[in-house]
Amino acid sequence: MSYIGQHLPAFKLNAYQHGDFHEVSDTDLKGKWAVICFYPADFSFVCPTELGDLQDHYERFQAVGAEVYSASEDTEFVHMAWAEASPTIKKIQYPMLADPAGKLATALDVRDEASGQAFRGTFIIDPDGVIQAYAVNNFGIGRNADEILRTLQAAQFVAAHGDQVCPANWQPGAKTLTPGADLVGKI
């Protein structure tokens, strides 16, 4: 099943952010673009490199009107302990979602039942709560925040300019394509 064009499932999860705990639900994501990045586990190896990379790009995500959320099946208390122990995680400003029952990971089909952990699923959700892009990587394959941001910006462009599409390697400000008979066989 493809999640493209599907509404983000209803959820309500605890989150850790800046030394505090709060609740985040699907309704909190409405009204702005959102990126949810699932990862296997706190106190692991590839995960802090990805979360640190997202933090290094966090202001750029915010500048284009998007909020970033990381999510694992650890509790918010484990997120806090990890932030206290790791200099990389300590610098994170975005919400770290706690999905210890794996309900959201299961609903989005990124939960590995054998390990009880989430694969590296990335979901880009529009302001109406509709999934516009997603990718899932296996445990050992880290993601690139630049590419997540580029994909988000392409989704935003297409949403704003429905008659145009973004070709491979498109960057904001680059040429787009307007599908039509005049392009058939010409690209």
Per residue in 152-181, pLDDT (tens digit) is 999 999 999 988 999 999 999 999 988 888
**Residue 51 is assigned to a structural domain of this protein:** yes
- Classify residue 32: in a domain, yes or no: yes
Q: What is the CATH number of the domain that holds 104?
A: 3.40.30.10
User: What are 112-149's pLDDT values in tens digits?
Assistant: 999 999 999 999 999 999 999 999 999 999 999 999 99
Candidate list 29, 47, 66, 149, residue with the active-site label: 47
Mean pLDDT estimate for the chain: 96
Q: Which two tokens stand for residue 40?
A: 């296997």
Query: Does residue 166 carry a catalytic annotation?
Result: no
Contact 95, 15 (CB under 8 A): yes
Q: Give me the pLDDT at residue 121, please.
A: 98
Tell whether 118 is covered by a domain. Answer: yes
Residue 3 lies in a domain: no
Reported as a single tens digit per residue, the pLDDT across 55-110 is: 999 999 999 999 999 999 999 999 999 999 999 999 999 999 999 999 999 999 99
Q: Show the domain range for 142.
A: 12-160
Domain count, the chain: 1
* H runs (alpha helix) in the chain: 26-29, 46-56, 58-63, 76-85, 87-90, 103-107, 145-160
In a domain, 187, yes or no: no
Question: Side chain identity at 98, as an amino acid letter?
Answer: A
Answer whether residue 153 is part of any domain: yes
- In a domain? residue 110: yes
Residue of 141, 106, 119 whose CA lies nearest to 41:
119
pTM of the predicted structure, to 2 decimals: 0.95
